[in-house]
Structure 1
Amino acid sequence: MAPAATASLPTAPHNLGPISRELFPDGLKTTGQHAPLYDHILPFEKFPKQITGPTVWKAEEYRDHPEKWTHTFTEEQIAELSTAADKFLASKTPLTGIEKSNFELPTLAAYLRDLRADLIDGKGFILFKGFPVQKWGNHKSAVAYMGLGTYLGYFVSQNSRGHVLGHVKDLGEDSTQIDKVRIYRTNARQYFHADDSDIVGLLCIAKALEGGESDLVSSHHVYNVLAAERPDVLKTLTEPIWYFDRKGETSKGQEEYIRTSVIYLERGENGRVYTKWDPYYVRSLTRFSDAGIIPALSEAQEEALRVLEETCVRHSLHMVLDIGDIQFLSNAHILHARTAYRDHAPPAPRRHLMRLWLATPESEGGWKLPFWDSNEKKRGGIQVDDQVPVAPIDAE
């Protein structure tokens, strides 16, 4: 691959300051959304002609071979998670204070270390089965799930309210109001996108009556397809001409949008291709483009939007999450989507997934991103002012 920019760590433009463990029990604060370091955004000619390696995969390699991407928890592993969860619950520690040091997994730890490496640098996804959510209930399940997550990354806030344990659930919000509403709080289709974290986890608590199924695709395979079929589209996606909405989830003094590219390179020699994308956050900015504050989407950008989605759909792997399933995937080189869904009629529970956003800092094997916070433990996510982290057991 082509050489990238300097490998040196970027300089943070501000100090996170002293962090109170009374407010932030694990002693860490989410850094939040920021514009990239523009001098690290490289021109298209610096990008590779083709990507190779384990992050490049085709759906047909996995479609009929679930054993390659599915792991059923053993009785011993469930017992170990149960013991750790019971011990944590007995300690009365806030759920936002869970970390590896207070959630010990003597034998699972080694497996999770290998899994973390595969998520970051390998195929980038896994589906766990057999997590006993119905036996444990939501509270203990949340503890065990978050405890599992501590071995893969650091929790980051997922919204302006500081949720480090998120809940994907239809709360009846209007999905057409895309400049205000987060789609995960509706039953609408989610187009292929990446979340604002290095790794995302989803634990299925309850299923929909129909729909709500998962699709994912190797963004590196998509890159190769576009390089061969539509290099013009690929070039458009690498240019820093894209504006991403922040939907009002901003700290004092911050702009309501971020100018960036969709596809960019890691810093350093042989920088890998990173994709940061969500069409809802691009299309929701008409309130600014109509006012002439930012440019409207060009014909080339509209074409790129269409072609990228169609290419993802064409090459995607379909996956169904049953109750007690946990999906973890990388946001660095995987794009994922969800079909629209319809819930059961009351009193049956609505579709409910518990969500984790996890950060993997550069010094701990994470990608060398062209953002100032690349080496912060809780890089990315959404942080508004000094909002403290919270971990609600259900949607709110």
Structure 2
Amino acid sequence: MAPALTDALPTAPHNLASTAPRDIFPDGLKTTGQHPPLYDHIVPFDRFPREITGPTVWKAEDYRENPEKWTHRFTEEQVEELSIAADAFLASKTPLTGISKSNFTLPKLAEYLETLRKDIIDGKGFILFKGFPVEKWGNHKSAVAYMGLGTYLGYFVSQNSRGHVLGHVKDLGEDSTQIDKVRIYRTNARQFFHADDSDIVGLLCIAKALEGGESDIVSSHHVYNTLATERPDVLKTLTEPIWYFDRKGETSKGQDEYIRTSVIYLERGDQGRVYTKWDPYYVRSLTRFSDAGIIPPLSDAQQEALKVLEETCNRLSLHMILDVGDIQFLANSHILHARTSYTDHAPPTPRRHLMRLWLATPESEGGWKLPFWDSNEKKRGGIQVDDQPPVAPLDAE
């Protein structure tokens, strides 16, 4: 018999949040990192809803011709409030990795950001801000204001083994075909539809490409409903814990190089929502282990699911272009996102550059009840290798 769903919180192997040393983690919080799901909280396909309803289910045509529904241009007053808070933070000499709501106060914006946070977590799941003055402020002040803004949506988590809590999406000339070693955000290759390892992802555009590098997003709940109608066999395959995700060497001592998991889960609880965790690059990169017989190779059903999922996302997606000074925030729980490949300008024109945030929303603060032990940790998810300190570089490295 399948395990029952329960409202009980998973038991953490240790009380991580209260023990992170502040000489390493300035805000006293450590990213929990990647780990397998709680397998007894993975339920069979017949427990999943036949159809998802509510605001998380949206169609591209609902928004394509109505940008006012999903964009917000910062007012002069809001820009000034961000500027004052950023200047005060810079004057305090606090490390950027120590930024929080308590030392980046936004008296007027805070109420709006709380409403926005709820819409990202429980509603349509995305927003595009416009009018962030990156060219006037420069990278340092922009990074402070951006991270400060982000603290009102969630807790920043590390995005790689080097502890980057301020990430940089930029082509560093790495070989995008070496998918078992290279993170695609450090190349100019296409990124297929995926979700990042956090509850919310933010992207601030510092510089645009000559061509390409454009964004596509889709409601994974609309994709779910479409597959339930057109290809329930594919949907069933995606809910089974038969998928292996690569960790690309970003592991702590004693950890496996891969994680066995599902692609689509249910939240814990009687009315659990459908949660998607996916990145095809991390699935296709594991041939070094499947060729050696350590893990199973992708089955024909899994190969078909890979193909159909990407095709369905492409068909249902909303396209958007990020201009300099735009900020996109997305919920990874029920939004999948992609980007087109791109070509940069020739020097000395700057290369395409996006500053990235990964933000966590623990369930005690309104986040989803995920089937992972760290569901109620403030900095759940992300990538944490041993005690690597958080760092916030102002450019790619």
TM-score (norm 1): 0.99
Match of 1:353 in 2: 354
Match of 1:383 in 2: 384
Aligned with 2:116: secondary structure?
helix
Alignment of structure 1 residues 7-86 onto 2, 5 Å: 7-16=7-16, 18-86=19-87
Alignment of structure 1 residues 279-358 onto 2, 5 Å: 279-358=280-359
Distance in 2 separating the partners of 1:20 and 1:12:
18
Structure 2 counterpart of 1:302, one-letter code? Q
Aligned with 1:216: secondary structure?
strand
Match of 1:276 in 2: 277
Q: Percent identity?
A: 86
Matched-pair contact (CA < 8 Å) for 2:239–2:265: yes
What do the CA deviations read for 1:308-345 (whole angstroms, capped 9, x no partner)? 00000000000000000000000000000000000000
Q: CA deviation at 1:250?
A: 0.1
What do the CA deviations read for 1:358-378 (whole angstroms, capped 9, x no partner)? 000010000000000000000
Distance in 1 separating the partners of 2:175 and 2:163:
22
Distance in 1 separating the partners of 2:4 and 2:197:
23
Distance in 2 separating the partners of 1:391 and 1:196:
18
Aligned with 1:288: secondary structure?
helix
Distance in 2 separating the partners of 1:293 and 1:113:
46
1:111 and 2:112 correspond: yes
Match of 1:196 in 2: 197
Matched-pair contact (CA < 8 Å) for 1:4–1:267: no
Distance in 1 separating the partners of 2:323 and 2:261:
36
1:174 and 2:175 correspond: yes
Q: CA deviation at 1:4?
A: 6.3
Matched-pair contact (CA < 8 Å) for 2:43–2:266: yes
Distance in 1 separating the partners of 2:301 and 2:266:
21
Matched-pair contact (CA < 8 Å) for 1:4–1:265: no
Give the ranges of 4+ consecutive aligned residues of structure 1 lying more than 6 Å apart after TM superposition: none
Matched-pair contact (CA < 8 Å) for 2:19–2:28: no
Structure 2 counterpart of 1:296, one-letter code? P
Bigger mean CA deviation after superposition, 229-238 or 13-22? 13-22
Distance in 2 separating the partners of 1:28 and 1:12:
15
Structure 2 counterpart of 1:45, one-letter code? D
Match of 2:266 in 1: 265
Distance in 2 separating the partners of 1:375 and 1:306:
34
Structure 1 counterpart of 2:10, one-letter code? P
Matched-pair contact (CA < 8 Å) for 1:205–1:351: yes
Match of 2:101 in 1: 100
Match of 2:91 in 1: 90
Q: CA deviation at 1:15?
A: 4.0
Matched-pair contact (CA < 8 Å) for 2:245–2:259: yes
Distance in 2 separating the partners of 1:50 and 1:80:
43
Distance in 1 separating the partners of 2:274 and 2:359:
20
Distance in 2 separating the partners of 1:103 and 1:234:
43
What do the CA deviations read for 1:11-54 (whole angstroms, capped 9, x no partner)? 01234372221211111000000000000000000000000000
Match of 2:147 in 1: 146
Distance in 1 separating the partners of 2:186 and 2:43:
35
Match of 1:368 in 2: 369
Match of 2:222 in 1: 221
Match of 1:247 in 2: 248
Alignment of structure 1 residues 113-128 onto 2, 5 Å: 113-128=114-129
Distance in 2 separating the partners of 1:247 and 1:20:
27
Matched-pair contact (CA < 8 Å) for 1:4–1:46: no
Match of 2:231 in 1: 230
RMSD over aligned CA atoms reads 0.8
Aligned with 2:356: secondary structure?
strand
Distance in 1 separating the partners of 2:337 and 2:76:
30
Q: CA deviation at 1:246?
A: 0.1
What do the CA deviations read for 1:165-192 (whole angstroms, capped 9, x no partner)? 0000000000000000000000000000
Tell me, which stretches of 5 or more residues in structure 2 are unaligned?
Answer: none
Aligned with 1:30: secondary structure?
coil
TM-score (norm 2): 0.99
Number of paired residues? Answer: 394
Distance in 1 separating the partners of 2:19 and 2:122:
33
Structure 2 counterpart of 1:130, one-letter code? G
Distance in 1 separating the partners of 2:111 and 2:147:
17
Tell me, which stretches of 5 or more residues in structure 1 are unaligned?
Answer: none
Aligned with 1:191: secondary structure?
strand
Distance in 2 separating the partners of 1:15 and 1:324:
39
Aligned with 2:124: secondary structure?
coil
Aligned with 2:19: secondary structure?
coil
